[in-house]
């Protein structure tokens, strides 16, 4: 049940980020629906296509209803959401934490290897946001120096490790999601980064 809730949470908070982007560009309600749905289900769709399993929102249209509800909420309350501290980035952080675990868990459930499970967790957690920023023509966080993909990698990787160590899935999921959220939250609050590449010719 925790993994199911994480899946719904990931869709919902990523849909919020899509709606916020639409509100900042002062788009119409159909555009709100488009951005919320694209961002909410984009990562999970890529995951399921790569895993060769039925696409989750095709089997369960409840995920689409979540995106519609979020679109309506953001349409009416975007001005209040914007008063929160960095709402887009925090919603993105929660989505990364939830979806990095869910993506890895789904890959493991169909018998894929550890490396594939981690990759599925990372792609599930980041692809929706990449699509959102690309279509909106906004600078993507993925090309900035602050921790972003690393948080998704840490969440997916720690879940896979903890699950293989024999921890109950619910415990492994909770710990892994917390690790991902901690890393991304630190980047938002304190500008945490990892060392970047430097050419050997630079002084």
Please state the length of the chain.
203
Average the pLDDT over 118-136 and give the result.
95
For residue 158, the model assigns a pLDDT of: 98
Q: Is the pLDDT of residue 138 over 70?
A: yes
For residue 202, the model assigns a pLDDT of: 60
- CA angle (167, 172, 173) in 5-degree steps: 150
- Token output for 15: 């849909």
Other C-beta atoms lying within 10 Å of the C-beta of residue 191: 10
For residue 5, the model assigns a pLDDT of: 82
Pair 170, 118: CB distance under 8 Å: no
pLDDT band at 144 (very low <50, low <70, confident <90, very high): confident
For residue 121, the model assigns a pLDDT of: 96
What average pLDDT is seen over the chain? Answer: 93
For residue 198, the model assigns a pLDDT of: 82
For residue 199, the model assigns a pLDDT of: 76
Average the pLDDT over 175-203 and give the result.
88
pLDDT band at 140 (very low <50, low <70, confident <90, very high): confident
Average the pLDDT over 67-86 and give the result.
94
**pTM of the model as a whole:** 0.90
- Token output for 148: 């972003």
Pair 156, 96: CB distance under 8 Å: no
For residue 156, the model assigns a pLDDT of: 98
- Token output for 174: 């909770």
Question: Between 32 and 197, where is the model more confident?
Answer: 32
Pair 129, 95: CB distance under 8 Å: yes
Q: Is the pLDDT of residue 203 over 70?
A: no
């Amino acid at each position: 049940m925790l993994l199911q809730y994480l899946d719904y949470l990931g869709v919902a908070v990523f849909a919020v980020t899509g709606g916020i982007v639409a509100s900042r560009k002062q788009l119409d309600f159909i555009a709100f629906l488009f951005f919320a749905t694209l961002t909410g289900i984009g990562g999970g769709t890529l995951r399921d296509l790569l895993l060769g399993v039925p696409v989750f929102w095709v089997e369960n249209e409840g995920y689409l209803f979540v995106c519609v509800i979020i679109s309506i909420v953001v349409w009416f309350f975007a001005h209040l959401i914007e008063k929160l501290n960095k709402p887009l980035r925090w919603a993105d952080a929660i989505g990364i934490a939830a979806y990095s675990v869910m993506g890895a868990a789904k890959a493991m459930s169909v018998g894929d290897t550890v490396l594939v499970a981690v990759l599925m967790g990372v792609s599930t957690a980041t692809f929706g946001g990449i699509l959102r920023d690309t279509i909106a023509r906004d600078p993507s966080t993925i090309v900035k120096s602050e921790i972003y993909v690393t948080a998704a990698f840490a969440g997916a990787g720690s879940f896979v490790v903890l699950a293989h160590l024999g921890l109950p899935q619910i415990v492994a999921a909770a710990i892994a999601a917390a690790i991902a959220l901690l890393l991304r939250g630190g980047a938002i609050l304190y500008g945490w980064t990892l060392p970047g590449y430097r050419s050997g010719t630079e002084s």
